[in-house]
């Protein structure tokens, strides 16, 4: 029996956000005491994507370490890469608590955090204070009180500030918990945003002498027609990767269960099929032109293979870590070997 199976009931007896905070703080202590160094070495199964060499193809998804506070401890779990954020230009508290709910019967989570984060400046200080040497993705967003007409400014502020620290930058336009954010996925808005970001990326490339790829993170609640439209726009602007997907606003898979009526984004096992479908549609349409990083409901090696078969080049994990524990990282990484 894994150690995680023993401690999980203790965490699951607590409020989910409190359990999350205590688990991460506990991990930091274990890291400082040197205990996490005793974990098995990461799976080494290198992969190259967006011009970056990854030690393996399994990453930590955005949202678990929103403020880049736990990079050192999390690096001990054997991820091939870690994505921190979503960070916004200014600090913001997010939505009132409670804002995270478990659906344990089906391995689901609903959250409506609403980009609670310490803001760009403290976020950068946290990265500077860490010893993490691995591949770092930085996920950027806009403040809740920035209107969509000025969203581009927020993304540009974030892009410029995080550029020197990131191996790749993820543009999050798919969280359901910031009003109207997902409207930025519509053809015209997406085109305007990408035009501005790619122009700035070119400048930053020259300025820093290093090209930092841009990935776009998309929602699962998009039909085939709109997915293809988005793919056309992303192809036009030479987006470096697509991260598919964020959480869903659908409740189809969890109808009638406790907490299923909570507002927010649903993740975990009930998201898996929907998310894989998005990967499949995009992969088939794009024929390898833009690589896809799959995220959504991965709880096992088989789930990982499902994403690979659908056309994903790499994967990320979040809810699976909560339900299955850190051993899932190795299991998923081995699915690529
Ligand atoms: C509590 C929680 C917070 C999240 N916060 C973010 C976030 O800040 N930015 C983001 O891009 N995705 C965020 N996500 C979405 C995850 O990165 C991931 O796309 C989604 O949960 C699907 O993967 P999973 O089924 O493995 O959890 C969050 C997910 C959860 C459960």
For the chain, domains (ranges, CATH) are: 3-249+256-334 (3.20.20.70)
Is residue 57 among the annotated active site residues? no
User: Taking 90 as the threshold, does the pLDDT of residue 173 lie above it?
Assistant: yes
Q: Chain-wide mean pLDDT for the chain?
A: 96
Cis peptide before 86 (omega within 30 of 0): yes
Name the residue of 318, 319, 320, 329 whose CB sits within 8 Å of the most ligand 1 atoms, as the mutation to test its pocket.
318
8 Å CB contact between 219 and 279: no
Higher pLDDT, 183 or 241: 241
Quote the pLDDT of residue 5.
86
Name the residue at shortest CA distance from atom 10 of ligand 1.
62
The answer on pLDDT for 25 being more than 60 is yes
Interhelix angle 327-334/301-310, rounded to 10 degrees, is 40
Integer Cα distance of 303 and 334 in angstroms: 12
> Do residues 67 and 120 lie in contact, with contact meaning Cβ atoms separated by under 8 Å?
no
Regarding the beta carbon of 294 and ligand 1, being less than 6 Å apart is answered no
Tell me the percentage of the chain whose pLDDT exceeds 70.
100
Does this model's pTM top 0.95?
Answer: yes
Mean pLDDT of the region 230-238: 97
Over residues 207-228, the pLDDT tens digits come to 999 999 999 999 999 999 999 9
Among the atoms of ligand 1, which is closest to the Cα of residue 246?
19
pLDDT at 1 over 80: no
Choose one of 11, 60, 63 to mutate for the ligand 1 pocket test, by most ligand atoms within 8 angstroms of C-beta.
Answer: 63
Quick one: pLDDT band at residue 93, thresholds 50, 70, 90? very high
CA–CA separation, 260 and 253 (whole Å):
9
Q: 281-320: per-residue pLDDT in tens?
A: 999 999 999 999 999 999 999 999 999 999 999 999 999 9
Mean pLDDT score, 101-127: 97
CA distances from 182 to 14, 171, 185 (A): 32, 12, 6
Give me the pLDDT at residue 187, please. Answer: 85
Active-site pick, 75, 174, 175, 267 = 175
Q: Is the CB of 298 under 6 A from ligand 1?
A: yes
As beta bridge partners, residue 295 has 316
Ligand 1 site-directed mutation target among 24, 61, 296, 316, most atoms within 8 Å of CB: 61
- Could you identify the atom of ligand 1 that is nearest to the CA of residue 245? 19
pLDDT digits (tens, 9 = 90+) for 38-60: 888 899 999 999 999 999 999 99
State the Cα–Cα distance between residues 323 and 107, nearest whole angstrom. Answer: 7
Q: What is the pLDDT of residue 194?
A: 97
């Amino acid at each position: 029996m894994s150690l995680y199976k023993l401690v999980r009931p203790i965490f699951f007896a607590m409020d989910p956000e409190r359990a999350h905070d205590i688990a991460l703080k506990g991990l930091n202590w274990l890291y400082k005491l040197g205990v996490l160094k005793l974990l098995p070495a990461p799976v080494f199964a290198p992969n190259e994507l967006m011009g970056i060499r990854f030690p393996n193809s399994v990453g930590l998804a955005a949202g678990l370490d929103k403020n880049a506070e736990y990079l050192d401890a999390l690096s001990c779990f054997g991820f091939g890469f870690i994505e921190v954020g979503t960070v916004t230009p200014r600090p913001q508290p997010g939505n009132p608590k409670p804002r995270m709910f478990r659906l344990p019967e089906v391995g689901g989570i609903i959250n409506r955090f609403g980009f609670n984060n310490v803001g760009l400046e403290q976020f950068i200080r946290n990265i500077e204070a860490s010893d993490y040497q691995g591949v770092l993705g930085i996920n950027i967003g806009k403040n809740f009180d920035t209107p969509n007409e000025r969203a581009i400014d927020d993304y540009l502020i974030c892009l410029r500030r995080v550029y020197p620290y990131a191996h790749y930058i993820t543009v999050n336009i798919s969280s359901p918990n910031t009003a109207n954010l997902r409207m930025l996925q519509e053809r015209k808005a997406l085109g305007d945003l990408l035009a501005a970001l790619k122009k700035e990326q070119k400048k930053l490339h020259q300025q820093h002498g290093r090209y930092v790829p841009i990935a776009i993170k998309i929602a699962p609640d998009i039909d085939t027609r709109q997915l293809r439209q988005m793919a056309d726009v992303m192809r036009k602007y030479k987006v470096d990767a697509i991260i598919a997907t964020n959480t869903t606003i659908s409740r189809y898979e969890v109808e009638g269960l406790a907490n299923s009526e909570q507002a927010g984004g649903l993740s975990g096992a009930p998201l898996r099929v929907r998310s894989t479908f998005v990967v499949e549609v995009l992969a088939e349409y794009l024929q390898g032109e833009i690589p896809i990083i799959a995220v959504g409901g991965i709880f096992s090696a088989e789930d990982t293979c499902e994403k690979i078969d659908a056309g994903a080049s790499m994967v990320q994990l979040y809810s699976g870590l909560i339900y299955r524990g850190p051993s899932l990282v190795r299991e998923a990484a081995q699915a690529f070997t």
